[in-house]
Amino acid sequence: MNAVTGNSTVRVPKAGEMVASQLRRQIVLGELREGDQLPSESVLMEEFGVSRPTLREAFRILEAEGAITVRRGVRGGARVQVPDAGVAARHVGLVLQHRGTLLSDVYDIRAVLEPAAARMAARRRTSADLARLQDVLDRERESIDDPGASFAADAEFHRLIVELSGSETLQVLTAMVTDIIREGDRAYADSHDWQHEQELAKIAIRAHTRLVELIRKRNGEEAEEHWRKHLAESAKIVLGDRTTATVVELLS
């Protein structure tokens, strides 16, 4: 439904969207918590003054957002679940595919977000943070002969750098492109032998070791610059001559 005001057209939310908005607000404010069972449909219909189809439309909206899970049947119902970055990542992946976004564009964005995280991590790091970084670094070294474990440890190092930035926003934004990055890295690894991948893993470990040293020294600016150069070099290797490769080609 649209309402015309002056020369502008204002879209009026549907009843289902308004109910979803109210329930979403309760979840965000903590009035409804993870695992809570929502009241029965009849109770919610009376509370919001809406029909069953309208309530179920609200449920579909929230379920698509990952805010609730709905179990059908006699013993069914809606249960609250806290949305995570994976939900946003899936939506972003679809949008990027639809737009025909270049894979190189995604790698470029990582080279903006992660170096900023490295700078922030260096400035706020604690002894516990350094211990966590060292633990992942040790696992990277120990798994150098195990392709699966090596890939997982490398991914964990990147994720931890962003987490240690202390920025929730940066974590969510980075998570939006992480799945695509990992698929790009995996596609590259699958097209090369393990000996080649081992050499790249050794280069990555040296770069990771240097970054940990800079974070230990709280040298944020140098950490940021070092990590930007490393990511740029990594992207150059992974992308190779696939300068026109798109996200849809990777994920389809």
CB proximity list for 247: less than 8 A, separation 6 or greater = 93, 96, 97, 100, 101, 102, 103, 106, 180
The first and second tokens of residue 216, run together, are: 């230990």
Is residue 191 scored above 60 in pLDDT?
Answer: yes
DSSP 8-state assignment for residue 241? T
- Threshold 0.85, pTM exceeds: no
Domain ranges within the chain, ordered by starting residue: 2-80, 86-251
Q: Per-residue pLDDT tens for 143-170?
A: 999 988 999 999 999 999 999 999 999 9
Contact 223, 103 (CB under 8 A): no
Domain 86-251 falls under CATH 1.20.120.530: yes
The packing angle between helices 147-163 and 127-142, to 10°, is 160
Is residue 58 scored above 60 in pLDDT?
Answer: yes
CATH of domain 2-80: 1.10.10.10
DSSP 8-state assignment for residue 192? S
Which residue type, as a one-letter code, is found at position 64? Answer: A
Return the sign of the alpha-carbon dihedral for residues 37, 38, 43, 47. positive
Q: Per-residue pLDDT tens for 194-246?
A: 888 899 999 999 999 999 999 999 999 999 999 999 999 999 999 988 878 88
Burial class, 174, CB count within 10 angstroms (exposed 0-12 / middle 13-18 / buried 19+): buried
The pLDDT value given to residue 142 = 95
